[in-house]
Copies of this chain bind each other. A is one copy, B any other.
Amino acid sequence: MMFTTKVLENKEITASLYYLKLQVPDKFNAMPGQFVMLKINDSFDPILRRPFSISGFSKNRIEILYKVIGKGTKLISHKKVGDEVNIIGPLGNNFNIDNSKIPVLIAGGYGVAPLLFLAKNIRKYSKNKKIVFLFGAKSKKDIMLRKEFKKYAITLNVATEIGGTGYKGLITDLLKYLLDNKTLLPEKIKIYACGPEKMIKEISKIASQTNISCEVSLEALMGCGIGVCLTCVCATKFGLYKHICIDGPIFDSTIIKL
C-alpha cells in the first residue's frame, strides 16, 4: 500500500547511521525481511524512491536503520519530527524461520537492519530460544544499538575489521572460526544473512560447502520496488533472472548466482 505519514523520530545513532521511526496505518503489517520504498520529497532530483528494510515493526510504527550514502539518504537525514514522508510497503518476501534449527543471524554494516527485526520477532515468540547474532563492521563505533539487542536478550558476536571490540577480522572469518571450533554445528543451524555483496557471496559459499541451510537478503538498484520496471534482476543458478523486489529480497543461498 501507499501512504503519506509522519516522521516520529530521525536521529543519528553513530557516524552517518540513522534510526528513522515512522507512523504507519492500522492495516500495515510487516514481516522480517520486507522493505519499504520511501519517497524523498517532491523534487525530481533525486527522482526515484529509496528501498529500506524494515528493522522494527510494532502497531502503527515502523523503524528503519539507514546509512547516509549519497544524495537521497542525505536528504532523508535532514527530515525532522513531524515532517511528512510517502511510503510504499511493505514489499517483498520475508525470512522463513526454521524452528527446528538454531538461528544464526549474520549482519554486515547496515545489513543489521532486517536482522534486528528478525531477532526481535524470534524472541517475541520464544523467550528462551537461542539466537546467535554475528555482527560485522569496520570499527567499534559501527556496532550500534547494543542496548536494543540487550533488551531482547540477544548476545552479539562482534567482528570488526580494524579490531577494537570482539573478533578482529571479517565477519565471515568469525563464522568460519565458529564452525571450525564446532561452536556452530552445520546441521543444527540455519543462517540468515544481510550485508555487502562480498559478504553474502562468501557466506553463500561457506553454507554450500558445509551444507548449512541459509537465507540471504539481497540488494539491487530498484526503479519501482513492485515488480514492474524489471531493473532489479539477479541471476540464478538455473539460468533465469529473479526480481529482487518481488521474488526477494530474501533468497535461499543455493539458488542465486552473485
Residue positions of A touching B, CB distance < 8 A: 42-46, 71
A44: chain B residues within 8 A (beta carbon): 45
A43: chain B residues within 8 A (beta carbon): 43, 45-46, 71
A46: chain B residues within 8 A (beta carbon): 43
6 tightest A-B CB contacts, nearest first: A45-B45, A44-B45, A43-B45, A43-B43, A43-B46, A42-B71
A71: chain B residues within 8 A (beta carbon): 42-43
Instruction: Report the minimum CB–CB distance from A53 to chain B (whole Å).
Output: 26
Copies of this chain assembled into the complex:
2
Given the complex of chains A and B, what is the CA–CA distance between A46 and B42 in angstroms?
Answer: 11
A42: chain B residues within 8 A (beta carbon): 71
Closest Cβ neighbor of A83 among chain B residues: B78
Instruction: Report the minimum CB–CB distance from A186 to chain B (whole Å).
Output: 50
Instruction: Report the minimum CB–CB distance from A82 to chain B (whole Å).
Output: 12
Instruction: Report the minimum CB–CB distance from A105 to chain B (whole Å).
Output: 37
7 contacts between A and B (CB under 8 A): A42-B71, A43-B43, A43-B45, A43-B46, A43-B71, A44-B45, A45-B45
Given the complex of chains A and B, what is the CA–CA distance between A42 and B71 in angstroms?
Answer: 9
Given the complex of chains A and B, what is the CA–CA distance between A42 and B42 in angstroms?
Answer: 14
Most chain B beta carbons < 10 A, residue from A42, A45, A46, A71: A45
Given the complex of chains A and B, what is the CA–CA distance between A117 and B103 in angstroms?
Answer: 70
Closest Cβ neighbor of A44 among chain B residues: B45
Given the complex of chains A and B, what is the CA–CA distance between A153 and B125 in angstroms?
Answer: 74
Instruction: Report the minimum CB–CB distance from A74 to chain B (whole Å).
Output: 9
Closest Cβ neighbor of A74 among chain B residues: B42
